[in-house]
Structure 1
Amino acid sequence: MPTYGVRGLAVAGASAVGAATLCYLLTALFPLVGVRMARSAAEQLDRDVLLGAVLAEVLFSVPYLLALLTAGTLVVIWTWRARKNLDAFPGAVPNLSPAWAIAGWLVPLANLVVPARVLADLLRNSVWQRRQSWLVGVWWASWLVFLIGDRFVARAEQQRYDRLTELPRNDAEFATYVRFYEDALAPRLVPAVACLVAGIAFVVLVRRISAAQQDRLSRAVPVWPGQPVRPGRPGWPAPAAPMPVAPTSPQVPPTPGGTIGA
């Protein structure tokens, strides 16, 4: 069965997940910056400062989106490779096919359940320690809180922002923008904490699963005379020496009174 190295991909994926988590935390804490800019705009009655706050928040979100796209791509590839390795491990009994290692992240609604089942399969059949299964539960629960909480908070913020005066002209109207940013911080803390917990738990899972699989692959010896192995892999038999050939006398043409060469 073909196997795939996962150590390098695990390091890259874990780093990308960590970067995406950090960038999201920065965007979640942006109301601290927004409050200062809104107060400055209220003191100066300057609409351009409010516009600058909106642009600054957009700039804060760009690194997060790039890190999230990179992390998502690497995680999907890592999950598929790690799942394919289970097919080569004697005794491994995964519940889902390798196709779900990709589709589980992409199919709507299924991505709320399938990734957790795939990770549980990987942990159970790679690490072989049931007491670590709680890590999957922690990651899955915090991931769901993050997904649902982030969408709920974003929708609620958009509705409150739409009720603000588009072109504030006096102190009262500018003050509504200050209150908007002041009230935005507390709801964002819930998905932010959930994102942090999910990121840490997922990085731990990726590192433990990858280390266990890589250790098993490095010690793998093919069964003989069972599975065929590829040339250059451990256990490939050396080419057999050629069979010795008995010497023979040279062939000579027959001559009168002579003999036929043997």
Structure 2
Amino acid sequence: MRCQACGDATSPEHHECQRCYTPHGQPAITPGLPTYSVRGIGLAARIAVGATAVLYLVVALGPLVGLVMSRQARADNDPDLLIGAVVIEALLALPMVAAYLTAAVLVIIWTWRARKNTDAFPGALPTLGAGWAIAGWLVPFANLVVPARVVAGVARDSLWRRFTPDLVSVWWSAWLVFSIGERVVSRLDSRAYDRLPETPSTDGGYQAYTDYYLGSLLRNAVPAVACVIAAVALIVLIQRISAAQEARIARALPAWPTAPVWPTARA
């Protein structure tokens, strides 16, 4: 006898599957409850998350442009080059912001669908309602904990585990370091930039810009590394959860009968 939820072999010694913990005799999907496809939205979310991480790395390395241009400005005594460095950094940030917003929307939609699917999984034990898959990201202070709890519950109920996968902890820890660290770095950079001479005319003034860009580059290191770790962990989570849910939903679909084969007339 095999479990209808995960397809694993079951034993009459236990009243539930030892892999997915679905009670024996329960269908893969509770009849009458809706399920949602997560394959397409999951793929789109993974692409957007990956693109955001790559573009953020470009932004984090943006001070290299300012570093080179500040040294050239010092050599040529041309302060206009410093304005060009600011413009280039702003242009580098625009694609990253667009990718970030796109990824945020796609991840929220995917999380809501994945969470709604667990309502139809016999044996699942969700602790938060599906609405928190959206509200959890938007409510201040709650957004420091709730999204991780929602994804942790979805991961447990989709990957057939009684404990939260370590990958959820890695993802959320890295995300918090990135999210908080990026804001701190942005404020530090803003304060440091305000202390720079508006129009440098001496070697010391140009050197101040060079030191600023070098410091900014070093400050960006921590959130940049955290961003990559969070992105990779989330991409893997989305892929694994989506594959598990799609496989379970497919097992619940009725097999269409094949067309009858009529005997051919013999000559």
Partner of 2:179: 147
Give 1:163 shift: 0.3
Per-residue CA deviations over 1:65-97 (Å, capped at 9, x if unaligned) read 000011001011101111110111111110000
Partner of 1:204: 236
Partner of 1:187: 219
1:115 aligns with 2:147: yes
Tell me the matched-pair count.
225
Partner of 1:28: 60
Partner of 2:108: 76
- Give me the whole-angstrom Cα distance separating, in 2, the residues matched to 1:158 and 1:210: 41
Instruction: Name the % identity.
Output: 54
Partner of 2:196: 164
Partner of 2:97: 65
Report matched runs for 1:246-261 at 5 Å. none
Partner of 1:175: 207
- Give me the whole-angstrom Cα distance separating, in 1, the residues matched to 2:76 and 2:47: 43
Instruction: Indicate the SS of the match to 2:124.
Output: coil
Amino acid paired to 2:94 = V
The CA RMSD over aligned residues, in Å, is 1.5
Unaligned runs of 5+ residues in structure 1 are 222-233, 237-262
- Give me the whole-angstrom Cα distance separating, in 1, the residues matched to 2:76 and 2:140: 47
TM-score, normalised on structure 2? Answer: 0.82
Partner of 1:217: 249
- Give me the whole-angstrom Cα distance separating, in 2, the residues matched to 1:131 and 1:196: 25
Give 1:156 shift: 0.7
Per-residue CA deviations over 1:51-76 (Å, capped at 9, x if unaligned) read 00000000110010000011001011
Instruction: Indicate the SS of the match to 2:220.
Output: helix
Partner of 1:124: 156
Partner of 2:168: 136
- Give me the whole-angstrom Cα distance separating, in 2, the residues matched to 1:192 and 1:210: 27
Per-residue CA deviations over 1:232-256 (Å, capped at 9, x if unaligned) read xx379xxxxxxxxxxxxxxxxxxxx
- More deviation in 129-138 or 47-56? 129-138
Partner of 2:70: 38
Give 1:105 shift: 1.1
Instruction: Indicate the SS of the match to 1:18.
Output: helix
Give 1:183 shift: 1.4
Instruction: Indicate the SS of the match to 1:219.
Output: helix
Give 1:129 shift: 3.1
Give 1:48 shift: 1.2
Amino acid paired to 1:151 = R
Which of the pair has more CA radius of gyration?
Answer: 1
Amino acid paired to 1:193 = V
- Give me the whole-angstrom Cα distance separating, in 2, the residues matched to 1:61 and 1:130: 41
Per-residue CA deviations over 1:112-152 (Å, capped at 9, x if unaligned) read 10010001011000011357610000001111100111111
Per-residue CA deviations over 1:153-195 (Å, capped at 9, x if unaligned) read 1101110100001111222111110111111111110000000
- Give me the whole-angstrom Cα distance separating, in 1, the residues matched to 2:99 and 2:107: 12
Partner of 1:94: 126
